[in-house]
Amino acid sequence: MSIYKSLKQECYTANMLLPKLDLVVYTFGNVSAVDREKGVFAIKPSGVPYEELTVEDIVIVDFENNVIEGKMRPSSDTKTHAFLYKHWENIGGICHTHSTYAVAWAQAQMDIPIFGTTHADHLTVDIPCAPPMSDNLIQGDYEHNTGQQILDCFASKGLSPDEVEMVLIGNHGPFAWGKNAAKAVYNSKVMEEIARMAYLTLQINPNAPRLKDALIKKHFERKHGKDAYYGQGC
**Beta strand spans in 103-170 (E):** 129-130, 166-169
Q: What is the distance between the alpha carbons of residues 231 and 30, in angstroms, rounded to a whole number?
A: 30
Count other Cβ atoms within 10 Å, centred on residue 111. 18
How far is the C-alpha of 181 from the C-alpha of 228, rounded, in Å?
Answer: 24
Q: Which of 22, 26, 213, 230 is catalytic?
A: 230
CB 29 within 8 A of CB 98: yes
- Is 22 considered catalytic here? no
Query: Which listed residue (121, 142, 152, 199) is catalytic?
Result: 121
Tell me the residue length of the chain.
Answer: 234
- Long-range contacts of residues 32-37, Cβ cutoff 8 Å, at least 24 apart: 32/75, 32/78, 32/81, 32/93, 32/94, 32/95, 32/181, 33/7, 33/92, 33/93, 33/180, 33/181, 34/85, 34/91, 34/92, 34/93, 35/4, 35/7, 36/89, 36/92
230 is catalytic: yes
Active site (catalytic) residues = 121, 230
